Chain A
């Protein structure tokens, strides 16, 4: 890549952050130069963000219908899924899977609720509730 070819696409996903990339200048020498982003990166980052948003929206609908616990919504909303949430909370996946159901979720102890809330970085009240 030539320095003139370094993309400067003002990626919205970078929020104004400029990254450093290595490219070849006119004299054939490598140099590091900042970039405002490449559209390709923006596309794949947005795709990953959108996938979590889609999973969260599905979970929200299920939670409102009473077929899933609020935990499932908050899990996706915080960009986690079953294996990563279990690992981050230090629980087994079968335990977390149970807590994604409304019944077992309601009978969680205050300590368990606190664990999930801390892992997700939200309050216990937020964890129990759903966005309006």
Chain B
């Protein structure tokens, strides 16, 4: 057994933001998970009809994997140590060496090969994040932010999960902050991070990202019954909701986490308009939950053909999103 690292496991809403928040806290920088999400400007909406996951178009409610720690490191001005490996054994050795030095390590993995996940959740999603903070009798001690308590994972399984090939393959990625800033200049960073998110959601020139992408998808959902057979239409809708509710914290969850960020930032900086925006973002999250609810009803009730209610619910969510971003754009 390597020397046990004293590490505080924290239950988080999402894997990557949870991992980064915990790794930074371990180094003495007290930063909440919502603050990590907000400052990294990782909130988004994207629907790419031409990128397929399991044969269905990719929908995402957040920036691609890696964007959170890269965005945050750039903004806060700390260096993230990252390593990828061609060779499995070298990857395992490097992880063990960091643990031996007492360094908890962020690791990117596939979900499918992690035995401690419930079977129904084990899909081939390759961009899960967790922290390894020790090794004991051939098992790694894992702080997986999605789980309430620390887990144990046999070394062979973790190695398999780290070296899967395919979309978003981790290639053994391990990471940890090399240094941390002593303080965070919220007054400067918060407005810049919010501006970045708002610009992305309202002004991205391609129609697959932002509020425009939601409206396009809303129209597409309305036309589904005419375009494809009912089974495929249900799978299509199911995939959108799965990306929202199941993968990490998804859409509704991310909106609530972002609202928590706006509230925390507003209180710390004493900016009432951010608190107001937080409430608007909460309403946005609720609108997404309504979309998920209406969609689940459609998926379950095989006699329902009409996708109009789903389309309308997504249009409502898009309106909410646009309102809060426009509000944040105005000078206060």
Contact of A80 (CB < 8 Å), options: B124, B249, B278: B124
With the chains together, A81 CA to B52 CA distance in Å? 11
Asked if A57 is an interface residue, CB under 8 A from chain B, the answer is no
Asked if B192 is an interface residue, CB under 8 A from chain A, the answer is no
Asked if A121 is an interface residue, CB under 8 A from chain B, the answer is yes
Asked if A124 is an interface residue, CB under 8 A from chain B, the answer is no
| Chain A binder among B159-167, B305-313, B322-330 | B159-167
Contacts of B263 in A (CB 8 A): 29-30
CB-CB nearest in chain A for B52: A83
Asked if A45 is an interface residue, CB under 8 A from chain B, the answer is yes
In the complex, per-residue mask of B215-251: 1 if CB is within 8 Å of any chain A CB, else 0: 0000000000000000000110011011001100100
Q: Are A39 and B296 in contact (CB under 8 A)?
A: yes
With the chains together, A64 CA to B279 CA distance in Å? 58
Q: Are A89 and B165 in contact (CB under 8 A)?
A: yes
Q: Are A88 and B165 in contact (CB under 8 A)?
A: yes
Contacts of B279 in A (CB 8 A): 28
Contact of B118 (CB < 8 Å), options: A16, A32, A41, A79: A16
Asked if A128 is an interface residue, CB under 8 A from chain B, the answer is no
Known: A22-B256, A45-B242, A81-B55. A15 touches B120 (CB 8 A): yes
Contacts of B239 in A (CB 8 A): 48
CB under 8 Å from chain A, chain B span 115-143: 118-124
Q: Are A44 and B238 in contact (CB under 8 A)?
A: yes
Asked if B104 is an interface residue, CB under 8 A from chain A, the answer is no
CB under 8 Å from chain A, chain B span 257-283: 257, 259-260, 263-264, 278-279, 282
With the chains together, A40 CA to B295 CA distance in Å? 8
Known: A17-B118, A23-B256, A81-B54. A43 touches B299 (CB 8 A): yes
Known: A1-B289, A21-B256. A88 touches B124 (CB 8 A): yes
Q: Are B119 and A15 in contact (CB under 8 A)?
A: yes
Q: Are A1 and B54 in contact (CB under 8 A)?
A: no
Q: Are A47 and B124 in contact (CB under 8 A)?
A: no
Asked if B292 is an interface residue, CB under 8 A from chain A, the answer is yes
Contacts of B123 in A (CB 8 A): 48, 79
Contacts of A129 in B (CB 8 A): none
Q: Are A1 and B118 in contact (CB under 8 A)?
A: no
Asked if B208 is an interface residue, CB under 8 A from chain A, the answer is no
Contact of A18 (CB < 8 Å), options: B148, B256, B289: B148
Known: A15-B119, A21-B253, A80-B124. A47 touches B164 (CB 8 A): no
Q: Are A40 and B166 in contact (CB under 8 A)?
A: no
In the assembled complex, how far is the CB of residue A31 from the closest CB belonging to chain B, in whole angstroms? 8
In the assembled complex, how far is the CB of residue B206 from the closest CB belonging to chain A, in whole angstroms? 24
Asked if B286 is an interface residue, CB under 8 A from chain A, the answer is yes
Q: Which of B148, B245, B253: most chain A CB closer than 10 A?
A: B245
With the chains together, A81 CA to B55 CA distance in Å? 8
Contacts of B148 in A (CB 8 A): 17-18, 20, 34
Q: Are B124 and A41 in contact (CB under 8 A)?
A: no
Q: Which residues of A contact B (CB under 8 A)?
A: 1, 12-24, 28-30, 32, 34, 38-41, 43-49, 51, 78-81, 83-84, 87-90, 121
- Closest 4 interchain pairs by CB? A15-B118, A87-B166, A30-B260, A13-B120
Can you offer 12 A-B residue contacts whose CB atoms are under 8 A? A1-B289, A21-B249, A22-B13, A22-B259, A39-B296, A40-B295, A44-B242, A44-B299, A45-B246, A79-B112, A87-B167, A87-B169
Q: Which residues of B contact A (CB under 8 A)?
A: 11-13, 33-34, 52, 54-55, 112-113, 118-124, 145-148, 160, 164-167, 169, 234-235, 238-239, 241-242, 245-246, 249, 252-253, 256-257, 259-260, 263-264, 278-279, 282, 285-286, 289, 292-293, 295-296, 299-300
